[in-house]
Every structure is written in structure tokens, then in C-alpha cells.
């Protein structure tokens, strides 16, 4: 019996994972994006979404969804993908920097740390992938574009400030996305630090941390002194183990764009988080409304690499245009196919914008009246 992860099925169909989860729920199946469903169920879902699948030509659609199914024995453990969220000034950026500086995998100490929007660190031989763009906007805009690229949310709460409005927002985002949280009680070095207040505040928002006999791990940290960073990484590794995150490295790659820009010297460059399969030099791909052929892959430490497997963030060169954060990348077989799908999507988006444009104008007229 073959199985496929819900996230992967959504990627292959270019549908939002939340819509797929919703459909599954309506069929009576309570699953999350990281769980697998069997082939029969996957086929039902594909049928259900059939009228919405990107229609270039039937043959192309076949090719895009052709490889839907990964056998369970093909799935291998992959690194968790971690997003840091929390109230402004509670130390998200400081924490990401502290972890990166203390634990970068291949960037040499003292070397220039490359910023590509995500980085990997090693924890007892296991890799952890951090998204380097803290903040709710990134999280929600990626989600709204159909990419769910977070397995674990680190909720940063300053011990001298406790729960604030954006803390509550972050909790809501994590819950809506069905992503487990780990609470990092930061600034524990401050004289005014009151970690217990953070824990009791969180209770009011139905986040019951371990110290309050709940199941959400909480770790006291200081991004400034480095205190607790090891424990935080251990907590992440433990949470990751519980999630049993898996992907199939031996297939055509799919992934999500974390950030993209037009580089004067290098042309369009996208940082892609590979979610399934392995992206290789020379691969032909479609990404949102763009397409390309991988000319170079650059790792988070600035090295040129030949392949990037599941949960690896990588800069991709060789695009014909600049995609948007949240766009999904799929490797396809031929350039003609890639171009056709990209053009089809561009046209569809244009049609949609035209339709939306009319509606917006009407709304604006009403609002301004």
C-alpha cells in the first residue's frame, strides 16, 4: 500500500494544504499536513480537487500529479523546519542570531555568514532548519500562498514583559496552522525577569507549558548570554522526534520559495526550501509563474553544492524571472512543460487580478463614499 504526505499531495496539486486538510476532514479523516494518507484517499482528494487542478493540458497535469505517491519505505527522516515568532522586541532576531552564531553547520567561525533566509544547525548529529525571517507576516503570507514551511514554532516571550498582543497573535497562527509550539522564555538574564508570570499568562491563552503540567515545552533562555540555547535546541530535537518528519529524497524535488530577488550580477535568485525529493544541478522546474533550469545551487554557508535534499534551504540560480515568497517549486521533465505551466499560471493570475481589480474598485468606491 502506497502513502503520501498531505503536504506533498497539496504541493503536487498546487493547492493549499489547508484546503486539502479541510477536504480530508469533510471525509472524516482528521490528519495534519505532515501525516500520510493512503493512495485511495489521495485519489479521492485528487478527484475532489480535479476541477481546480492547474489545467495546461491533460498530459501536463498528469505529469505534475503523476508521481503523487511515495511508498512508506521510501520515506526517510528529515530535519524539522522552525519558525520563530513573538512580540516585537522580545528577542526573535537576537535568538536566531545567537543560535546561528553558536551552531552554524558549515560556515567557518569568523567567516562571513551568508544570509539566504534560512539556515541549518547541528544538534547531536541531527540537522535543524531555521527560517531566518521571524515574524507573522512571513508566516501568514506564505501560508496564504499555499506553502506551509513550518513544522515547529518557537514562541519567544520576554521574561520581563510576559504575554503581549503579538504573542497572542503568534499563538493563534500556530494553532490555526496546527503547528506545535515550544516556548522560549527569553531575556532570563534581566533582573526584572519573571518567567513564572510568562507561564501563568500563557495559561489564559490555552498554552499550558510543561512546568504547569502541560505538554508544551518551555525553556528559559538568554539570547544575550547564550544561557539555555542548548536546552532549546534539545527541546526542538525532541519535538521533531515526536513529529516523525519524513520525506523521500529519491525523487524529483518540490519545495517552497522563502525569498527571491533580482540580483544585478546573478539575475533572478530564489531561496528555496526543499520539502520533498532532491533538487539537482540541471533540473528543470516550474515555480509559481516562473520556470527555469538549475544553473547553480548555493548553500546557507555560501558554498556551491550539486544537490539539495529535503529540508535543505538553498539559493537557486537559473530562473527566467523572479518568483514570490511562498511560490511552490516543482521539478518537471521538459522545458516545454515548465514554460507551458508557468505561462498558464501567469495568464490565470492575470485573469484573476482583473476580476479582483473590478471588485476592489467597487469596494474602494463604497469605502470612500
CB 160 within 8 A of CB 190: yes
Residue 72 carries which DSSP code?
Answer: G
Candidates 96, 94, 174, 80; CA nearest to 129 is: 80
Q: Which stretch binds ligand GDP (CB under 6 A): 26-34, 108-116, 185-193, 278-286?
A: 185-193
Instruction: Between 141 and 227, name the residue whose CB sits nearer to ligand GDP.
Output: 227
CB 155 within 8 A of CB 263: no
Whether 136 is catalytic is yes
Residue 15 carries which DSSP code?
Answer: -
By CB under 6 A, is residue 100 in contact with ligand GDP? no
CB 293 within 8 A of CB 283: yes
Which of the residues 188 through 207 are near ligand GDP (CB under 6 A)? 189-190
Find where cell 520581563 sits: 160
Q: Report the partner that residue 178 touches, choosing among ligand GDP, Mg ion, none (CB closer than 5 to 8 A by kind).
A: none
Q: How far apart are CA 3 and CA 212, in angstroms?
A: 38
Candidates 84, 29, 2, 12; CA nearest to 329 is: 12
Three-state DSSP string of 264-275: CCCEEEEEEEEE
Q: Which of 88, 203, 262, 349 binds ligand GDP (CB under 6 A)?
A: 88
Cross-strand partners of 315 = 271, 298
Give the nearest distance from C-beta 102 to ligand GDP in angstroms: 13
Candidates 187, 304, 308; CA nearest to 258 is: 308
Q: Which stretch binds ligand GDP (CB under 6 A): 34-42, 88-96, 210-218, 254-262?
A: 88-96
By CB under 6 A, is residue 92 in contact with ligand GDP? yes
Q: Which of 43, 62, 66, 89 binds ligand GDP (CB under 6 A)?
A: 89
Q: Report the partner that residue 117 touches, choosing among ligand GDP, Mg ion, none (CB closer than 5 to 8 A by kind).
A: none
Q: At what angle do helices 6-13 and 58-66 cross, to 10 degrees?
A: 160
Q: Which of 118, 163, 223, 236 binds ligand GDP (CB under 6 A)?
A: 223
Which of the residues 67 through 96 are near Mg ion (CB under 5 A)? 92-93
By CB under 5 A, is residue 35 in contact with Mg ion? no
By CB under 6 A, is residue 91 in contact with ligand GDP? yes
Q: Which of 12, 90, 103, 339 binds ligand GDP (CB under 6 A)?
A: 90
Establish whether 248 is an annotated binding residue: no
Q: Report the partner that residue 224 touches, choosing among ligand GDP, Mg ion, none (CB closer than 5 to 8 A by kind).
A: ligand GDP
Q: Which of 167, 222, 301, 311 binds ligand GDP (CB under 6 A)?
A: 222
Task: Indicate the SS3 state at residue 79.
Answer: coil
Q: How far apart are CA 6 and CA 81, in angstroms?
A: 16
Cell numbers for 366:
463604497
Instruction: Between 190 and 266, name the residue whose CB sits nearer to ligand GDP.
Output: 190
Enumerate the active-site residues: 136
Binding positions for GTP = 86-93, 132-136, 186-189
Amino acid at each position: 500500500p502506497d502513502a503520501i504526505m498531505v503536504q506533498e499531495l497539496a504541493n503536487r496539486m498546487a493547492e493549499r494544504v489547508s484546503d486539502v486538510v479541510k477536504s480530508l476532514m469533510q471525509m472524516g479523516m482528521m490528519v495534519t499536513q505532515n501525516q500520510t494518507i493512503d493512495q485511495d484517499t489521495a485519489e479521492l482528494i485528487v478527484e475532489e480537487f480535479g476541477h481546480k487542478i492547474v489545467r495546461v493540458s491533460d498530459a501536463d497535469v498528469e505529469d505534475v500529479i503523476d508521481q503523487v505517491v511515495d511508498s512508506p519505505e521510501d520515506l526517510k527522516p528529515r530535519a524539522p523546519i522552525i519558525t520563530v515568532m513573538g512580540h516585537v522586541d522580545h528577542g526573535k532576531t537576537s535568538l536566531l542570531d545567537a543560535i546561528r552564531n553558536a551552531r552554524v553547520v558549515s560556515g567557518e567561525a569568523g567567516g562571513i555568514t551568508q544570509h539566504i533566509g534560512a539556515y541549518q544547525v547541528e544538534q547531536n548529529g541531527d540537522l535543524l532548519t531555521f527560517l531566518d525571517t521571524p515574524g507573522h507576516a512571513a508566516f501568514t503570507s506564505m501560508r496564504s500562498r499555499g506553502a506551509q514551511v513550518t513544522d515547529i514554532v518557537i514562541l519567544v516571550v520576554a521574561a520581563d514583559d510576559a504575554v503581549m498582543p503579538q504573542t497572542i497573535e503568534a499563538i493563534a497562527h500556530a494553532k490555526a496552522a496546527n503547528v506545535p509550539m515550544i516556548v522560549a522564555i527569553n531575556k532570563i538574564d534581566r533582573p526584572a525577569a519573571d518567567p513564572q508570570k510568562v507561564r501563568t499568562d500563557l495559561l489564559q491563552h490555552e498554552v499550558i507549558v510543561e512546568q504547569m503540567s502541560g505538554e508544551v515545552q518551555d525553556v528559559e533562555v538568554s539570547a544575550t548570554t547564550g544561557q539555555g540555547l542548548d536546552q532549546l535546541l534539545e527541546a526542538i530535537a525532541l519535538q521533531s522526534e515526536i513529529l516523525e518528519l519524513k520525506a523521500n529524497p529519491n525523487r524529483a524535488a518540490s519545495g517552497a520559495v522563502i525569498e527571491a530577488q533580482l540580483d544585478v550580477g546573478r539575475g533572478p535568485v530564489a531561496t528555496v526550501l526543499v520539502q520533498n525529493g532532491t533538487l539537482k544541478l540541471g533540473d528543470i522546474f516550474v515555480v509559481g509563474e516562473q520556470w527555469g533550469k538549475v544553473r547553480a545551487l548555493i548553500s546557507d554557508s555560501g558554498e556551491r553544492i550539486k544537490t539539495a535534499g529535503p529540508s535543505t534551504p538553498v539559493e537557486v540560480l537559473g530562473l527566467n524571472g523572479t518568483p514570490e515568497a511562498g511560490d511552490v517549486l516543482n521539478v518537471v521533465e521538459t522545458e516545454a512543460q515548465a514554460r507551458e505551466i508557468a505561462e498558464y499560471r501567469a495568464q490565470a493570475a492575470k485573469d484573476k487580478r482583473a476580476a479582483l481589480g473590478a471588485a476592489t474598485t467597487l469596494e474602494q468606491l463604497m469605502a470612500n463614499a
